[in-house]
Amino acid sequence: MPTATFLPGYRKAVVPSGTTILDAARAAGLPMNVVCGGQGKCGKCLVFIKDGTVSFDTEDCRRFFSNNEIASGACLACRATIVGDVRVEVPAESLIQEQKILVEIPGMKEVPLKPAVWKYEVHLTPPSLDDTTPDLARLLEGIEGQEGPPPNRIYAPLEVLRYLPQVLRRSGWHVTGTVALVPGGYRLLNVDEGDTTGRLYGAAVDLGTTTVVAYIRSLTDGRVLATASNYNRQISCGEDILSRVNFARKSGLSRLQQLAAESINESLKSASDAGGIDLEEIFEVVIAGNTVMTHLLLGIDPSYMIAEPYIPVVRRMLSTAAGRIGIAAHRNAGVYTFPAVSNFIGGDIIADILASGMADRDEVSLMVDIGTNFEAVLGNRDWMLSCAGAAGPALEGGEVLFGMRANPGAIERVRVDAGTLTPSYSTINGIRPRGICGSGLIDLIAELIRACVIDRTGQINLEIDNPRIRRGPYHPEFVVAWKKETSIGKDIVITENDIRNLIMSKAAIHGACMTLLDAAGLTPRDIGRIYFSGAFGNYLNKENAITIGLIPEVPLERVENIGNGAIAGANIALVNRERRKALDGIALRITYIELNTEPSFMDRYTSSCFLPHTDLALFPHVQ
Ligand code: FES
């Protein structure tokens, strides 16, 4: 079989002839950028063939690469197949870049510690001819009277019964039993020798499309012992949800299930190492993920979500044993996944709602979670409306000339001096700028409005006599950083076209919020609180978000970032069984509004395609 050698690290993979370079790179452990999931549509998997034999159609490459690049061996890793031994150079930009992962929960809500798992230390009287009580009954009698579930409702599975007699006798009849609340009753998960009551742990996990975050907590006192994060390894099979579902459809479901479990395990392993915890002592794992991620983790086919009539297999909270889906915890540990409302309002949004507390209050709140897609939920303890849509990639740096994700070197904060028009900015990791990420783009537009560089349609005023304002090769542009300041050897600019794309993205979100308000017969004045969830919201300047009309105008003190709401909600459901039990009820209370079929959405969207809006009465405090 041919050997593929990848430069510059000289990683190798021996693969059958006919394997794509992308699959060979995966086999060699290289995290390639595959935005389109390997369909030849994004051009992000650029590699250079240094020597060897490969087969590909140069027409596939012409859409993305210049003749010079093709002459230097450029091709798409997903389209080129290996014929013989080959050496391939992988440029840094074709690999997934290190990204800022939001692990923190600002002002994490403390909820009463009421876990759904208990440990019982028991000293038992050994059996005798006068006392022939069977081992299990003896153990359950020992538990009798301790705080927790009634012993007569505890079910003991066969596998525990198989080792129980040895453990009881080896320990001299001094053991610790672990019991969990499971659907339909209580289950004996494990029996240890001696006293292990001080070591009872649980894990809360945010299984995102891009990243995974895990918290390990003591379930005896609620302390957070360690946190960890990493990429979702499924990225190698496609960057977005649709690519993953398509990969699953082409016999890739078990691979995606395995990758989801491995991704979670990577975080659990790092956190358990940091916290000095044995993974075998984790007895509960609560996972919040969107509807597709939850299906994939459980090995449930998500294909029908992308075909008419677009339905998931299941929406309710599910539980299974860690050992059944390959999660690195005690094999009998209960794994719980959050319920969903629809294909688009998944368990991560239910976790946001739980974390915000909006489902417990009378006042009306609006929750917005922004990424390439956005989700919005409006309501209170009695009712909730939700919707979701595509914000377009602009807020994550796509379709913006120098836009980029929140990776090192991204400009994340910007001020512009209204007199000199000189920007001051900060970058992620404080290194020389490479581009601008979403929070920086929102700052920039708000500052350019204040400095009167752009008008309400986003047009750049070329009449202003300043070297930063100029006609670019395609569109008017504003120079944010001169070439000598950057690490890419070019001026970093924002163009009028970029601003147009950003306006369309923000208009989709604002239009959706207004559609929800309309449906509820409310106005922005009725909103008691707006919550931003997710990484994007966390780094967002609230005032600038209102200035550009991303969200309805409310007093700034009513806008709150809840950070990673998915992990915050998973934490709450981990430590408090009553809150966990309420989740299905919350999901059932939420009505989903399909924006594509909601006639008022398009009007709302169009009205929002201005800075901040066509109707300035909606933004009375924006100048
Ligand atoms: Fe998109 Fe190859 S073109 S992954």
Q: What is the DSSP string of 493-546?
A: EEEHHHHHHHHHHHHHHHHHHHHHHHHHT--GGG-SEEEEEHHHHHH--HHHHH
Q: What residues form DSSP beta bridges with 474? A: none
The whole-number average pLDDT for the span 196-206 is 97
Candidate CATH numbers 3.40.50.720, 3.30.420.40, 1.10.10.60, 3.40.50.1820; the one for domain 357-393+502-613: 3.30.420.40
Mean pLDDT, rounded, of the chain: 92
Instruction: Return the percent helix, strand and coil in the chain, to nearest 5.
Output: 35, 25, 40
CATH of domain 201-337: 3.30.420.480
Distance CA 488, CA 57 (A): 31
Q: Tell me how many degrees the CA angle 407-410-415 measures, rounded to the nearest 5.
A: 145
Nearest to 495 by CA among 451, 539, 453, 535: 453
Please, what CATH class does the domain formed by 117-193 belong to?
alpha beta
Rounded to two decimals, the ipTM of the complex is: 0.99
Cβ(32) – ligand 1 distance below 6 Å: no
Cβ(440) – ligand 1 distance below 6 Å: no
Distance CA 4, CA 12 (A): 6
| Ligand 1 centroid – CA 240 distance (Å) | 12
Task: Kindly list the distances between the CA atom of residue 332 and the CA atoms of 186, 201, 327, 529, 557, in Å, as whole numbers in the listed order.
Answer: 13, 13, 10, 41, 46
Per the structure block, which two tokens stand in for 470? 């100029």
- Of 37-41, 240-244, 257-261, 341-345, which gets the smallest average pLDDT? 37-41
**38 CA closest ligand 1 atom index:** 4
Residue type, 481: A
pLDDT tens by residue, 480-517: 999 999 988 889 999 999 999 999 999 999 999 999 99
| Ligand 1 centroid – CA 77 distance (Å) | 7
Candidate CATH numbers 3.40.640.10, 1.10.10.10, 3.40.50.2000, 3.10.20.30; the one for domain 3-94: 3.10.20.30
**34 CA closest ligand 1 atom index:** 4
Cβ(38) – ligand 1 distance below 6 Å: yes
| Ligand 1 centroid – CA 299 distance (Å) | 25
Is the Cβ–Cβ distance between 365 and 528 less than 8 Å? yes
Contacts of 251 (CB under 8 A, 6+ apart): none
- Between 179 and 405, the more confident residue is 179
Confidence band (pLDDT; 50, 70, 90) for 231? confident
Cβ(40) – ligand 1 distance below 6 Å: yes
Is the Cβ–Cβ distance between 488 and 447 less than 8 Å? no
- Of 35-39, 139-143, 351-355, which gets the smallest average pLDDT? 35-39
| Ligand 1 centroid – CA 38 distance (Å) | 4
Distance CA 373, CA 461 (A): 31
Please report, rounded to a whole number, the percentage of residues in the chain having pLDDT higher than 90: 73
Confidence band (pLDDT; 50, 70, 90) for 91? confident
| Ligand 1 centroid – CA 32 distance (Å) | 9
**76 CA closest ligand 1 atom index:** 2
- Between 26 and 124, the more confident residue is 124
Note the pLDDT of residue 413: 95
Per the structure block, which two tokens stand in for 302? 């998500």
Distance CA 566, CA 582 (A): 16
The two domains 3-94 and 117-193 share their CATH topology (first three levels equal): yes
pLDDT tens by residue, 439-466: 999 999 999 999 999 999 999 999 999 9
For the chain, state the CA radius of gyration: 27
Question: What's the burial of 150, exposed, middle or buried (CB within 10 Å: 0-12/13-18/19+)?
Answer: exposed
* pLDDT exceeds cutoff 90 at 28: no
Contacts of 309 (CB under 8 A, 6+ apart): none
Mutation probe of ligand 1 site: the residue of 39, 60, 235, 240 with most atoms within 8 A of C-beta: 39
Note the pLDDT of residue 103: 66
Note the pLDDT of residue 8: 81
* pLDDT exceeds cutoff 90 at 392: no
**32 CA closest ligand 1 atom index:** 4
| Ligand 1 centroid – CA 251 distance (Å) | 19
- Between 180 and 44, the more confident residue is 180
* pLDDT exceeds cutoff 90 at 353: yes
Nearest to 586 by CA among 432, 374, 367: 367
Cβ(36) – ligand 1 distance below 6 Å: yes
Q: Whose CA is nearest to atom 3 of ligand 1?
A: 40
Q: Domain spans of the chain?
A: 3-94, 117-193, 201-337, 357-393+502-613, 394-499
Note the pLDDT of residue 70: 86
